[in-house]
Amino acid sequence: MNRPALDSFWIPFTSNREFKADPRMIVSAKGMYYQSEDGRDILDGTAGLWCCNAGHSHPKIVEAISKSVATLDYAPNFQFGHPGAFELSARLADAFPEHLNHFFFANSGSEAVDSALKIALAYQRARGKGSKTRLIGRERGYHGVGFGGISVGGIVKNRMYFGNLIAGVDHLRHTHDPARNAYSRGEVEFGVERAEDLLGLIQLHDASNIAAVIVEPVAGSTGVLPPPKGYLQRLRQICDEHDILLIFDEVITGFGRLGEMTAAQYFGVEPDLITFAKGVTSGVIPLGGVAVRDEIYETMLEGADAPIELFHGYTYSGHPLATAAALACLDIYETESLFSRVREQGAVLEEKTHQLKGANHIIDIRTIGLIAGIELAPDPDRPGARGFEVMKKSWQKGLMVRVTGDTLALSPPFIVTPAQIEDMLSILTDILSEIE
């Protein structure tokens, strides 16, 4: 049977009918630009999906992967190993917060989150506190699309189609408070008291039944929500007081998006586990993972009731090509001072984006690190339609922008220049003046 060329691929998180009627096809990429099927340069305002931090087709990453595939295409990490996975773990231990020195590798942010949740539960059991099984997420949180991740997550559309999900989960309120925090730069001024929600959940469930709390330090996929000042610190304090693990989901913020290796270091709050993906390989090869506090790892080994301490893993955990790409990325981040560049260009993005205040349809702007969220007033009859229209028009004018509902997100590669930031915002200004 002859099928239409676009028919068979079920595109994720996409209106398939709309896309296949008017495709936005990408055929190559280099530096800060994608190339479209019709030969146009498309300025990448989103680092792909928050991941291509070092820009596209960086020669050092290409070289590392090419060498790896010619030398060691695959090696199992169940009862065997290869040097790259151990070297990468040691490099990450030097770069991550002080007490997070052990690394479990997965293939994506979704797998990293599910792995972290399982590690948290297994740790509680290993130390004789098997009643601590409840997991606490947050409204508007995005933690991937595994059943664990959407259970602790709080984005309605990601949850509503899939039944009861996993049991024993509760949620904190989100921290978005536009009435008090509109047009914010960095951490927002108001909302630290929402960390006290955790005390209410402890009172309801008792700490003896709560294993872990998971939050994004900066909520990304829900529309760029920086935390209130003191909020993460207060969560850490409550977790310490009540013997609860704190997990930071840093799939977006990890590897320099805020100008530090992790958001934990940026905010000065050390969690018990950190999930990561995306920027670890600059998006070139799928790789995710969990950074684990020393005490958790050591307790798991000492309290194991079988030779295998953690019955969990993936065929591609620590894949040789992925670890080669990650090691090359770590070199690039250091030798090209890309985290310093994030701090410099983040200031430019902040200043230029906030100059849009007062433009047509804009009701809020939020910036932190090299991230900007531009929230539009929704069309009362079609929520999300206005943001989607801006995304499509941006593509037509040579810019890739991320849209969540009616919030536009800019998170360019770290190699972005002030002139390219100016181009992004000029395009958006023109589009906003055109749409109804």
Percent of the chain at pLDDT above 90?
97
> For residues 219, 225, 230 and 235, what is the CA-based torsion angle, rounded to 10 degrees?
-30
145 within a domain of the structure (yes/no): yes
Classify residue 407 by its DSSP letter. Answer: E
**Cα–Cα distance between 378 and 391 in angstroms, integer?**
14
Task: Say what the pLDDT of residue 436 is.
Answer: 81
pLDDT for position 1 = 46
- How far apart (Å, rounded) are the C-alpha atoms in residues 302 and 295? 10
Whether residue 140 is contained in a domain is answered as yes
How many of the other CB atoms lie within 10 Å of CB of 186? 15
Of 283, 304, 335, at which residue does a domain stop?
335
Closest residue by Cα to residue 41 from 59, 29, 51: 29
pTM over the 0.95 mark: yes
Strand 169-172 versus strand 407-410 pairing type: unpaired
Return d(Cα 260, Cα 39) in angstroms, integer: 36
**Average pLDDT estimate for 134-138:** 98
- Among 335, 351, 370, give the residue marking a domain's end: 335
294 and 416 assigned to the same domain? no
For residues 162 and 288, state if they share a domain.
yes
Rg (CA), the chain: 22
One domain, residues 85 and 167:
yes
Per-residue CA distances from 32 to 37, 56, 211, 343, 429 (Å): 17, 7, 42, 18, 20
- In a domain? residue 5: no
The residues facing 405 across adjacent strands are: none
- 3-class secondary-structure state, position 216: coil
Helix axis angle for 338-354 and 418-434, nearest 10°, is 30
Count the helices and strands in the chain (H runs, E runs).
Answer: 16, 16
Q: Return the ∠ at Cα 392 (arms to 285 and 357), rounded to 5°.
A: 100
Q: Verify that 260 and 330 share a domain, yes or no.
A: yes
Read off the pLDDT of residues 230-246 as tens digits, 9 standing for 90 and up.
999 999 999 999 999 99
3-class DSSP assignment, residue 252:
coil
> What CATH number has the domain bearing residue 414?
3.90.1150.10
Strand-pairing partners, residue 189, are none
> Stretch 339-344: mean pLDDT, rounded?
98
Query: Letter for the amino acid at 93?
Result: A
- The predicted pLDDT at position 3 comes to 61
The rounded distance, in Å, linking the Cα atoms of 433 and 424 is 15
Give the pLDDT score at 399: 98
Q: Which residue has the tokens 């390989």?
A: 281
Reported in sequence order, the residue ranges of 150-251 that DSSP labels E, i.e. its strands, are: 169-172, 184-185, 210-215, 245-249
CB atoms near residue 125 (< 10 Å): 16
Give the span between the Cα atoms of 41 and 30, in whole angstroms.
10
423 and 327 assigned to the same domain:
no
Residues 265 and 288 in one domain: yes
- Which three-class secondary structure state does DSSP give residue 178? helix
The answer on 347 and 388 residing in a single domain is yes
DSSP 302-349: HT-SSSSS-----TTTT-HHHHHHHHHHHHHHHHTTHHHHHHHHHHHH
- 428 residue type, one letter: L
Domain match, 26 and 93 both: no
- Residue 383's region, left for phi above 0, alpha for psi from -120 to 50, else beta, is beta
Same domain, 104 and 248: yes
Check whether 359 has a pLDDT greater than 60.
yes
Which helix (H) or strand (E) element contains residue 26? strand 26-30
Domain boundary among 335, 369, 394: 335
Mean pLDDT across the chain: 97
Taking the C-alpha atoms of residue 80 and residue 75, their distance in angstroms, rounded to an integer, is: 8
What value does the mean pLDDT take over residues 416-434?
97
What sign for the dihedral angle of Cα 254, 259, 265, 267? negative
Confidence of residue 294 (pLDDT cuts 50, 70, 90): very high
pLDDT tens for 153-174 read 999 999 999 988 999 999 999 9
The closest of 255, 232, 217 to 334, measured between CA atoms, is 255
Domain hosting residue 402, numbered range: 16-54+337-434
137 and 210 in one domain? Answer: yes
The CATH number assigned to the domain holding 246 equals 3.40.640.10
Q: What is the pLDDT of residues 198-226, one digit of tens each?
A: 999 999 999 999 999 999 999 999 999 99
Tell me whether residue 336 is exposed, middle or buried, using C-beta atoms within 10 angstroms of its C-beta: 0 to 12, 13 to 18, 19 or more: middle
Within 8 A by CB and 6+ apart from 62, the residues are: none
Q: Is the domain of 351 the same as that of 379?
A: yes
- 27-31, 179-183, 242-246, 380-384 — which is least confidently predicted? 380-384
| Pair (20, 70) in one structural domain | no
* pLDDT tens-digit map of 25-82: 999 999 999 999 999 999 999 999 999 999 999 999 999 999 999 999 999 999 999 9
Specify the pLDDT at position 2.
58
Total domains present in the chain: 2
| Contact yes or no for 84/276 (Cβ under 8 A) | no
